[in-house]
A and B are shown apart, each in its own frame.
Chain A
Amino acid sequence: MRKEKFPIGIPGVNLREIEREVPVTEPPAWPINDKLKHVGKSVKRTDAILKVTGKAKYTADINLPGMLQGRMLRSPHPSAKILSIDTSAAEAFPGVKAVYVLRSNMSGAEPKGGEDNGYPEIKYAGQAIAGVAAKDGQTAEEALKLIKVEYQTMPFVVDMDEAREPGAPLVFEQQVEQEETGGGGGGAKGLEQQGNVRGPSTKSFFGGPRGDVEQGMAEADVIVEGIFRTQVQTHSALETHGIVADWKPDMLTVYASTQSTKGVRSEMASIFDLPESKVRVICEYMGGGFGAKYGAGNFGVTAVNLSKISGQPVKLMLDRKAEHLAVGNRPNSWQELKIGAKKDGTLTAIKQESYGTAGIGLGAGVGRVAQAVYECPNFLTEQYDVFTNAGPGAAFRAPGNPQGAFALEQLIDELAEKLGTDALELRDKIDNSVVRKEERRLAAKAINWSRRKKPGSDTGVIKRGIGVAQSTWPRLIDIDSTAEVRMYRDGTVEIRSGVMDIGTGTRTILSQIVAEELGLEPEQISVKIGDTLFPNGPASGGSKVSGSITPAARNAAYKAKQEILKQAAPKMEEKAADLELKDGMIVSKTSGKTMSFKDALKQMRTSQIMTSASREDDYGGFMVGTFISHGDLGSVQMAEVSVNTETGFVKVEKIVAAHSCGRPLNPMQIQSQVNGGVIQGISYALYEDRVMDKNTGHMLNANLDQYKIAFSMEIPDIEVINIEEYTARSSTDAFGIAEPANIATAAAVANAIYNAIGVRLYELPMTPDKVLKALNLV
């Protein structure tokens, strides 16, 4: 261990120095961004050139010699037993090379025990049953129609409220489990299950209940409460889920549109009983995931089986309908929230109860914003999952948290109003976060908060309003994050890791980090990622990529640097410790002697230097286990809306989004990420809604023309404020930003609508009909 002085705090607010012990293998502390050359600068996205010319190859674009096209048969029934399946006609259909019937369902919650007749039990319309591989897609589709399935249909329930009723058709007869993921998928183990309701879950990784809420409520001078509802939202990434499977006797190669190459590898290895060394997963370019793209999936297992049977590579991409039905969504929520406070605003109790349905999956909670944003001695949450006959939910950009913020931040506003305080003043009082305080200040200035009027006091038909909402997201880390740096004799430098770039800009930040450490330009660093042949990287979820892989990358580059300096030292007649790398040169700090980096590489003992490093523990240790860093990613968003009180139409005019992600690595890419989160938030607030038909059990809008998403005409002016916040926890001190960007938007829009019309909306999406209803006009 060695002692290092690090910058800590927020420049302009409380920047200071802190001494921490760091392992001797790790590089010296970086100063703040101002003093760095590439890190913290808006370096252009390194792979943009391939994207703007159409040359980036996504999974959907992979074309292997002899490749077959796969298609899947999906259940038309929301609940059924399969009695028999006859695939003979499909198999005999000219051009068909393989047919495969799934034995069980691979996604959602897993029932313990139960009967197994060799077919999956059908629990939602759209559930995968079988797959066909044929010479082309059309032939495969035709062959699907020839598969004869004998169903015994059963009662079903797709509506959450109905599913909660006693006597509702049971989605699962048995106790179910689904492994909990750091990002918010799955559910706690062993919770009670009654009818279709499972829970309550009362804990998060920030701990369980605190104090005594009843007592806290009794001590309160003011109580605010409400029931809030949010809808189901589908991820709708542009590239659908899918894989290309190439089964060879010595190696299974899978091209997958996934957020975790290593996750797909380990699942495939275990399902097909292969050593992990014989499974290779590749994801070079990926057309969006937002949390839904993990694991092998029914489609993946089917594709690999089809390839195994046919002996040819098989591409199996989902169609848009299946994408809506079967591979993830943000669960809905019904949430009762109650907050007690003293006259001076001090919170005395927060009580939360929620129900949500992730269809046949678990993970329909409302997150931990209510638990974590404001200090409150008495806190209790009870979050229940409700099973329905619908496709399984999946982690979706800050799982649970936009739902939770929608309720919490509206009630905090209501509290402020009841106390006769300004919404920001109250937050200044009850929110201890230094970063959010600064964000509130900057955002208020940007949106000109002082012009905010009393609720509903704007005159005219179209009323304007301004609102605020806040959020928090933990700094998640995956210590199984390794990077390898290579220097070649021809003067080139490469970084390799299994981590992916799903559109977030991983490639670019890795090139910045390595360039900074080696005194090179980012263009000189070739970034090779998205392949399990490289060392494991983190999954692209939980906003943990930057915090996990960039310290590993810097540390690996530092090691490579030590090695090349050691080799160059005798040639320069210097001590390695006196040498540094700067602007493509090796420079002696004592004598000023130089040697070009390229020359040094030319004279290496071996043709390449290879070093690797993994994400070590945080300096000073983690806050929780080995996966949560200290502090949080605090955010404040403000919205300005106009509401037409005759049509009920809401238009978001402006969003100011103030965010922290530790040390910002690339402001331009951060801006892109935040824009994306905000736009998805607006879309969630006002438009998106999965509509299920109670009578047939089918989704009515499983396409992109009826499932309404925000397009260009709905995009407001978005101003991104990015706070530099140093915490001295790793060699880069950087964290992610994807999820925080998405949490507060809907709540901020809701508060702005209230400010405009003076009536509160308790249900998402806030469509014109709901606005008119709130205004008592329909």
Chain B
Amino acid sequence: MKKEENKPAGKKGFSRRNFLRGTGLTAAGMVVGTKGFAGEFAPAAAPVYGPDEVPVTLSVNDGSYQTLARPDEVLVDTLRERLDLTGTKLVCGRGACSACTVMVDDKPVCSCLTLTMEVQDKKITTIEGVADGDELHPIQQAFIDEDASMCGFCTPGMIMSCKSLLDRNSNPSLDEVKKAVRGNLCRCGTYPHVFKATLKAAERMG
């Protein structure tokens, strides 16, 4: 079900699951050894982080944030717990629902599978950064017009997927829209209106 694009991107990309499998969780301490990290996965010249939280700088929605993060911390947690950017939702934590979708260097990724350490030098866009100030992005306006958000919990992720499609394809077909959100779970069943909204937004963006 998962979008191809949703795999952690980049040459150095590795998933949290691989990472944890590599280092293992000790019985008593959650502290993850740096040895496994540096030795097994990172290129030789990569910095060694941890074991405790370390300062990181993230560029999110055109702002620069200094915060702390653990080496094994995933981006969704950093955004939500440390930066109070709670628009991005955590739903499954394993890449199965796309509720946590954010853009990293303009590509949609599951922030629940993206290590914060890995995106320090990248451009991160969350749902809070989609509108231009008070001016909504056409996809956001279309979601309002077509009633594409019900409980709204899937909406941020859904919008990121739709926006990413529109960034790549200004004139998508219905089938392309369906494919663009094929990893996004909406339990309320907004899909028909999401499809309509995305096609409408494309039309408006011309």
Contacts and interface: CB of A to CB of B under 8 A. Distances in A.
Given A52-B127, A679-B191, 7 more contacts: A55-B128, A63-B86, A238-B187, A240-B91, A288-B153, A709-B187, A711-B181
A142 B70 CA distance: 15
A286 B90 CA distance: 14
Interface in A81-140: 136-139
Interface of B: 1, 27-30, 70, 77, 80-81, 84-97, 99, 126-128, 130-131, 136, 140, 143-145, 147, 149-156, 159, 178-179, 181-195
Contacts of B130: 53
B28 A146 contact: yes
Nearest to A286: B151
Interface in A9-59: 42, 44-45, 47-58
Contacts of B147: 42, 44-45, 48, 668-669, 671-672
A286 B95 CA distance: 22
Nearest to B141: A52
A501 B144 CA distance: 16
Interface in A178-212: none
Contact of A51 (B86, B128, B152, B195): B152
16 contacts: A44-B144, A48-B149, A51-B143, A53-B131, A54-B156, A238-B89, A290-B187, A672-B188, A672-B190, A675-B189, A679-B189, A704-B91, A705-B94, A705-B96, A711-B181, A712-B195
Given A238-B154, A715-B192, A52 B149 contact: yes
A713 B178 contact: yes
A705 B193 contact: no
Nearest to B154: A238
Contact of B80 (A53, A61, A138, A239): A61
A54 B128 contact: yes
A288 B29 contact: no
A200 B147 CA distance: 44
Contacts, number: 180
A44 B144 CA distance: 7
Contacts of B99: 238
Contact of B191 (A61, A240, A675): A675
B189 A705 contact: no
Nearest to B161: A712
Nearest to A501: B151
A394 B179 CA distance: 33
B1 A711 contact: yes
Given A44-B145, A671-B147, A676-B190, A711 B182 contact: yes
A237 interface: yes
B90 A60 contact: yes
A288 B149 contact: no
A444 to B, nearest CB: 22
A715 B191 contact: yes
Interface string A661-689: 00000001101110111111000000000
A502 B151 contact: yes
Contacts of A136: 81
Contact of A675 (B97, B143, B156, B190): B190
Contact of A54 (B86, B150, B193): B86
A159 interface: no
A236 B187 contact: yes
Given A51-B155, A238-B151, A677-B189, A142 B144 contact: no
A629 to B, nearest CB: 25
A713 B136 contact: no
